């Protein structure tokens, strides 16, 4: 019996002490904050201008507009921590979706960074209602809606809406 107990302890201790896998479930909130960034926007067309948002792991939201992504960034507010946590979980699921690259006169894009890995998706906006959306379009829509809800009274957020 003592041998069986000793065997169990020897088997369980190394497993309990090994670091977790890449999903960082046990990661502290501070650790997640330092490891995530979402950049979403759209642009192109006749003017060639791009506009969108950057969301950092601490919930800070930056609006930007110009010749490229993140040009002329201006901090416009802060998302609640629980919203950022939901985005973290969705980004983990999105990490299994291969990047998509589409070109055209008007393109939407989403770039998600977790740790040192970045995935970028670009696609032509879908007009009308479509029953199923790609996972990256869903995250794009959720981010845009969260920014709109959290900062609906912020003048800068209203002038940068992507809807």
* β-strand partners of 109: 41, 122
Q: Is the dihedral of CA 152, 156, 162, 163 positive or negative?
A: positive
* Tens of pLDDT, residues 122-152: 998 877 666 688 999 999 999 999 999 887 6
Q: Domains, the chain, ranges and CATH?
A: 35-159 (3.30.1560)
Q: What would the pLDDT profile of 44-81 be if each residue is shown by its tens digit?
A: 888 889 999 999 999 999 999 998 878 889 999 999 99
**Taking a C-beta distance cutoff of 8 angstroms, is the pair 117, 96 a contact?**
no
């Amino acid at each position: 019996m003592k041998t069986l107990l000793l065997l169990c302890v020897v088997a369980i201790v190394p497993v309990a002490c090994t670091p977790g896998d890449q999903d960082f479930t046990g990661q502290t909130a501070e650790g997640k904050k330092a490891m995530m960034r979402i950049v979403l926007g759209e642009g192109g067309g006749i003017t060639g201008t791009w506009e969108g948002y950057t969301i950092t792991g601490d919930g800070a939201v930056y609006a930007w507009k110009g010749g490229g992504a993140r040009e002329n960034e201006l901090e416009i507010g802060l998302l609640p921590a629980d919203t950022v946590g939901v985005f973290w979980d969705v980004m983990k699921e999105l990490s299994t979706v291969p990047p998509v690259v589409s070109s055209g006169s008007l393109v939407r894009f989403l770039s998600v960074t977790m740790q040192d890995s970045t995935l970028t998706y670009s696609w032509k906006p879908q007009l009308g209602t479509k029953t199923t959306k790609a996972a990256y379009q869903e995250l794009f829509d959720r981010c845009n809606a969260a920014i709109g809800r959290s900062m609906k009274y912020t003048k800068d957020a209203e002038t940068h809406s992507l809807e």
